[in-house]
C-alpha cells in the first residue's frame, strides 16, 4: 500500500485525508525509519508495508467502531511502542486526547520527538508499566477508550487495560487472525475486571492476505482494587 493507495482506502471508509495529514504520515514514516537505525522500533521498514501494516492497521477501529470515537474523547494507548495505534488515530482525529503508556524510555524519547515533528497537541507520554499505571489514581478509570495492539494475549491484556477504562468506556484490542479462542479464554478475566465483550470484527487489510481481529469491550462495572496486580504477575498468573 503506497501513500496514494492509503489515501484512497481511507476515502472508501469516508475519511478524506487533508494535505497536512498526508504530510504528517510521510513525516512519521521518515522519522520511524531514521530512528529505527538506532532504536529497535519495528521490523517493518518498507514504505508500502509501513503504510499497510502500521498506519492503516492502526486506524481500522475508527471505521469498525466509529460510534465510540467521539470528538474530544480521552484515549490511553498501552504499550504503544512506536506509537501504534494511537498516533495514526490522532493524525486522523486531531481532537482525540491521547495518553501513551510505555515501559521503555527510548521509545518514549522517539515519541516525544515525533509528536513535536508532527505538531500534535494533547498527547501525554507516561513512562511506566501498565500494572503500575493502572494503580495510579491519576490514570485509573479515567479514560473513555483504552487501546492495545500486539502487546499480550487477551486475558493478560484485559488486566493491563480495563483498570484504566472509566465505567461506561471502552477497551479496543487490535489482534491478529483468529482471535476467537483468545476471547473465549478471557471470559473469566473480563468478568472479574468489569468488562463485557460487545463486538468481534474480523477483517483483511486491503489488497493483502493480512488478517486482523478487532475486539470491542465495554466497561460495565468498576475494576476491583486489587487489579492490576503487581508488575509481571498478570503474565505469570493470568486470571482463569
Nearest to 126 by CA among 137, 139, 116: 139
CB 89 within 8 A of CB 96: yes
Listed in sequence order, the residues at least 6 apart from 181 whose beta carbon sits closer than 8 Å to its beta carbon are none
Stretch (H or E) spanning 24: helix 19-36
Binding-site residues for S-adenosyl-L-methionine, in ranges, read 79, 84, 130-131, 149
Set of cell numbers at residue 69: 470515537
Listed in sequence order, the residues at least 6 apart from 27 whose beta carbon sits closer than 8 Å to its beta carbon are 117, 118
CA angle 174, 176, 106 (to 5 degrees): 60
Binding-site residues, in ranges, read 79, 84, 130-131, 149
Set of cell numbers at residue 111: 515519541
CB 172 within 8 A of CB 144: no
Set of cell numbers at residue 31: 522519522
Which DSSP string do the residues of 72-120 spell out, in sequence order? T-EEEEET-TTTTTHHHHHHH-TT-EEEEEES-HHHHHHHHHHHHHHT-
Amino acid at each position: 500500500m503506497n501513500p496514494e493507495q492509503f489515501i484512497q482506502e481511507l476515502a472508501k471508509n469516508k475519511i478524506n485525508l487533508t494535505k497536512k495529514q498526508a504530510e504528517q504520515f510521510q513525516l512519521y514514516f521518515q522519522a520511524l525509519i531514521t530512528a529505527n537505525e538506532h532504536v529497535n522500533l519495528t521490523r517493518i521498514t518498507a514504505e508500502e508495508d509501513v503504510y499497510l501494516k502500521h498506519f492503516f492497521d492502526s486506524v481500522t477501529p475508527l471505521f469498525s467502531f466509529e460510534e465510540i470515537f467521539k470528538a474530544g474523547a480521552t484515549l490511553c494507548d498501552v504499550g504503544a511502542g512506536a506509537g501504534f495505534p494511537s498516533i495514526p488515530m490522532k493524525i486522523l482525529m486531531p481532537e482525540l486526547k491521547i495518553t501513551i503508556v510505555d515501559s521503555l524510555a527510548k521509545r518514549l524519547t522517539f515519541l516525544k520527538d515525533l509528536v513535536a515533528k508532527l505538531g500534535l497537541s494533547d498527547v501525554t507520554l507516561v513512562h511506566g508499566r501498565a500494572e503500575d499505571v493502572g494503580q495510579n489514581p491519576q490514570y485509573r478509570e479515567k479514560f473513555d477508550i483504552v487501546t492495545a495492539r500486539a502487546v499480550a494475549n487477551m486475558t493478560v491484556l484485559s488486566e493491563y487495560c480495563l483498570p484504566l477504562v472509566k465505567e461506561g468506556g471502552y477497551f479496543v484490542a487490535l489482534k491478529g487472525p483468529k482471535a476467537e479462542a483468545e476471547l473465549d479464554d478471557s471470559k473469566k478475566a473480563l468478568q472479574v475486571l468489569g468488562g463485557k465483550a460487545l463486538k468481534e470484527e474480523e477483517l483483511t487489510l486491503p489488497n493483502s492476505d493480512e488478517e486482523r481481529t478487532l475486539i470491542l469491550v465495554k466497561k460495565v462495572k468498576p475494576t476491583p482494587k486489587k487489579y492490576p496486580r503487581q508488575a509481571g504477575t498478570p503474565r505469570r498468573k493470568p486470571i482463569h
